[in-house]
Amino acid sequence: MINSKKVELKNLHNIEKKIEELEIFLSNHEFQKTVYYKSWYKDFSVIYGQKFADIRLYVLSAILYFIGYLFIVKVIRSENKESDFEHIDLDLLKEIQIEFKKDYRNLGIFTIDYYNQFLKIFPQESLKSLTEIFHYLLKSILDSKLNPEYSFDFLLQNFLSPLIRHKSGEFYTPPFLVKKMVNFSYKFGESVLDPSCGTGNFLIEIIKKILRTNKTREEKLKAINNIHGYDINPLSIFLAKLIFLYLLKDEFSNYEVNLYVFDSLFQSDKILKTKFDLIIGNPPWYTLRDIDSLENQNKVKNLAEELDIKPGSKNVLNIEISALFFYKAKKDFMKEKAKIFYVITKGVITGSHTSRFRNFKGFTDIRIWLFSKKIEKIFNIEFICLYARKSKSSKVISKFKIPAYEFSLKKNKESLKYFDDIELVEDSSITLVPYSIEKKAGKILTKKLISQDEIRNLLPIKASYYKNLFHKGADLNPRNLIFITYKNENKELVKINIDERVLKRAKSPWNKKEFENELIEKRYIFKVVKSTELVKFLIYDYYYVFLPLEKENLNFSISTLGKYAKKFYDMINKIYLINKKSTTKNRSLMENLDRWSKLRNQR
Ligand SMILES: C[S@@+](CC[C@H](N)C(=O)[O-])C[C@H]1O[C@@H](n2cnc3c(N)ncnc32)[C@H](O)[C@@H]1O
């Protein structure tokens, strides 16, 4: 999910050049060959994929790590708040680290070896650049006037590009939503886990809630010690520990820190033995399609199977990682009757890829929160909050009704900002029911959830008379290579250009114009309709595509292809092969177009 409306780091470009210099310096000194870089790469290539785990990301994450230390000096110890940080140098950072290890040893706030090496390698001149970067970032935090506990949320989300963070679903939850969810679900003293806690937004809110009560110190300490967070990213856990320290240092010097670097989906060790009363959080929202390695894709497919939520083969690429987090929590982390409350993509209530998710096997007391468009806009993807309890029985619920509450802003604001302290009000509630429940190949499929009133107005549920006459067509991708507009050149030849409509929703690398004014034989142009332009009894728009097929028999043969069409096909095939994901098995563009023989099947 992408938060578009955040407080922003201003003039970031001023330090970009300095960051680039550090990156070049490390590369020139072959830092990538050191054990430090290699052990960093081992961790971070799992988190962000091999493509993004590069020297630049190493530099950015190392900078964030050291900002953590400076946060201790400036915010936790409130030292030199007003100074302009000019004295930040290697010695100071070393000094802080030594003190840090001594003072906070009992809190298990680890240091991260592969980052410690970062400072040591630079000559004095480069350290000056580094100081300037630290200075700029720390000043940005302090100037932002945010509560200090949100400093790292602010920094992480502004400093690392959304493209990188998408790979591990690192988009945090705004405090106003976190607050509402915590108030609804958390009862004082309960054991709580956020299995993908990031820098701890949900846990921070729970700590604040505990501190606000008028319970005894002992009771509060016990409740704090019951808070747990896991995250796959060691940097996030390190920063979360610092925020805990900031919130608790004055009153509680001896609290337990239960924050662990842990892969909540695939790691299995002793942490898993602990079970909780409440699982709360916002699991990552990427899908199987976003995973680069074939091995990791297979792990995800197997886990979806094991959790009984794997979709049919045509939908496998859309497996939602957040859906796995929901069912995995039930299996490994929830006590009997425990509660779970997640921010999750709306796709889980409507998508065809989540029809087994909607069986809610092993869950009961399901509730949904829906949001007005203005609130939804805070993320770029439609989302819901999904609440449930673990049920004693692991049966699929056959007939269920889910109450859904619709929230909007109390004051009708023009635009909503991520850190705004706003109140959500419940506008109305509806009851959601499955459109239908079907059994296919021994598997129960719960079709999308719709409102009970809507279902009353629908025609009786049975397959449409036309259903058997319709077949899903081919997925004609990548569109930027084959969707065209054309002008007649002569009787036989046409001049083609890309149909620019397809670029609007295209994603990299398929969002480029790859050809201009190319000639092809007219007979290779086909008229196509996309499902989005097909409504009941009407096709209201269409496209032209280039396909290297003979019209009479839909044959594909390179040797008999027209001269111009062959040249054009060779060109776009090359572009396809260069840009396709390494995990895509197709060996040519044609194989991709004709997946499942959908293109040439003459049905
Ligand atoms: C959407 S963020 C949520 C962070 C925090 N709960 C919040 O809402 O502000 C998702 C988090 O999941 C973490 N993550 C991704 N895959 C994970 C895994 N397999 N196990 C644990 N954490 C994971 C990411 O590092 C990221 O911090």
Residue bearing the bigger pLDDT, 470 or 569: 569
- Residue 263 Cα: closest atom of ligand 1: 20
- What is the tens place of the pLDDT at every residue in 257-315? 899 999 999 987 766 678 999 999 999 999 999 898 889 999 999 999 999 999 998 89
User: Any alpha helices (H) in 364-414, and if so which ranges?
Assistant: 373-376
Q: Assess contact for 220 and 210: CB atoms under 8 A.
A: yes
> Does the beta carbon of 226 lie inside 6 Å of ligand 1?
no
Query: Which of 3, 165, 168, 385 is the pocket-test mutation for ligand 1 (most atoms within 8 Å of CB)?
Result: 168
Distance 149 CA to ligand 1 centre (A): 18
Structure tokens at 392: 């004693």
Query: Is the pLDDT reported for residue 41 higher than 90?
Result: yes
What is the distance between the terminal CA atoms of the chain, rounded to a whole angstrom?
40
Assign 68 a pLDDT band (cuts: 50, 70, 90): confident
The pLDDT of residue 7 is 55
**Residue bearing tokens 């790979």:** 167
- What is the tens place of the pLDDT at every residue in 389-416? 999 887 777 678 999 999 998 877 777 8
Query: Is the pLDDT reported for residue 105 higher than 90?
Result: no
Distance 284 CA to ligand 1 centre (A): 5
- Residue 343 Cα: closest atom of ligand 1: 8
Closest C-alpha residue for ligand 1 atom 17: 232
Q: Cis omega (within 30 of 0) on the bond before 509? A: yes
Distance 347 CA to ligand 1 centre (A): 19
Q: Assess contact for 384 and 351: CB atoms under 8 A.
A: no
Q: Assess contact for 197 and 240: CB atoms under 8 A.
A: yes
Closest C-alpha residue for ligand 1 atom 12: 196
> Does the beta carbon of 171 lie inside 6 Å of ligand 1?
yes
With residue 481 as reference, give the H or E element that holds it.
Answer: helix 479-482
The pLDDT of residue 446 is 93
With residue 520 as reference, give the H or E element that holds it.
Answer: strand 518-521
Query: Is the pLDDT reported for residue 525 higher than 50?
Result: yes
Query: Is the pLDDT reported for residue 2 higher than 50?
Result: no
Neighbouring residues of 178: CB distance < 8 A, sequence distance ≥ 6? 201, 202, 204, 205
> Does the beta carbon of 194 lie inside 6 Å of ligand 1?
yes
pLDDT above 90 as % of the chain: 54
Closest C-alpha residue for ligand 1 atom 19: 263
pLDDT above 70 as % of the chain: 93
The region of weakest confidence among 124-128, 156-160, 350-354, 359-363 is 124-128
Assign 551 a pLDDT band (cuts: 50, 70, 90): confident
With residue 179 as reference, give the H or E element that holds it.
Answer: helix 175-185
Distance 438 CA to ligand 1 centre (A): 34
Closest C-alpha residue for ligand 1 atom 27: 198
Which range of 96-105, 153-162, 176-185 scores highest in mean pLDDT? It is 176-185
The pLDDT of residue 455 is 83
Query: Which of 205, 228, 231 is the pocket-test mutation for ligand 1 (most atoms within 8 Å of CB)?
Result: 231
> Does the beta carbon of 265 lie inside 6 Å of ligand 1?
yes
> Does the beta carbon of 342 lie inside 6 Å of ligand 1?
no
Residue 509: strand, helix, or coil: coil
The pLDDT of residue 597 is 81
> Does the beta carbon of 174 lie inside 6 Å of ligand 1?
no
Query: Which of 64, 196, 386 is the pocket-test mutation for ligand 1 (most atoms within 8 Å of CB)?
Result: 196
> Does the beta carbon of 172 lie inside 6 Å of ligand 1?
yes
The pLDDT of residue 53 is 92
- Residue 321 Cα: closest atom of ligand 1: 16
